[in-house]
Homo-oligomer: A and B are copies of this chain.
Amino acid sequence: MERHFDEELKNLKQRLLHMADTAQEMIGLAVKCLVDRNKPLAQDVFGLEQKVNHMEIEIEEEVLKLLALRQPAAGDLRLLTAILKINNDLERVADQAVNITERTLDFLKQPPLKPLMDVPHMANLAQRMIKNSLEAFVNHDPRLAQRVCEDDDEVDRVNDQIFRELLTCMMQDPKSINRAVDLILISRNIERIADHATNISEDVVFIEEGKNIKHHIEEEN
């Protein structure tokens, strides 16, 4: 029975990894749609969102089933509730990829705005953070999780820089306003994706080291 439970947990983790891969793929497609001005990719993003939504519901049901049937002890309990939270974060990452895509479709109705600033770079960073946060979870690697939290500072820095550059761009050329606002909103969506990766990583540090680094009040836990 105990061994069976281990396998069930392993299986759940695999499903979470698969969901994270899909969410990452959605971010990649959304940004490719923007950079290559390739509108049909938007439909791919919307299609994958349906998949992620189903995965979320199935994973949640499975966790509830395991909680009820296996009555797990403290350690496994924390693991299962972490899976519930990560599941939720990943679904919201997928939502953000959809938001990016919708905003991109608006952006593409207008003539090209020459510089996309560092938006694709920022998206790459966020994708890597999602990947690493899940790897940190599955491989019990709190140091990798810490690195994700550090990457978040870089994302915030790039986001601020993009914001300032786009404000300047709008002031110099008011015809660019609509598109520049689109890019500002897209970069906010990417920032939120990075925040979700950070949430996941904070949970990993908590599970692995029993240390709550959320809200920077470690000393209390």
Contacts and interface: CB of A to CB of B under 8 A. Distances in A.
A12 interface: no
Q: Say what secondary structure dominates the interface of chain A.
A: helix
Interface stretch (A24-32, A33-41, A132-140, A209-217): A209-217
Which bracket fits the contact residues of A?
Answer: 20 to 34
Contacts of A68: 73-74, 77
A50 B217 CA distance: 10
A83 to B, nearest CB: 11
A116 interface: no
Interface string A179-217: 001001100100000000000000000000000101101
A26 to B, nearest CB: 15
A29 B78 CA distance: 35
A108 B187 CA distance: 23
A117 interface: no
Contacts of A48: none
Contacts of A78: 64
B88 A64 contact: no
Given A171-B174, A174-B170, A177-B177, A77 B88 contact: no
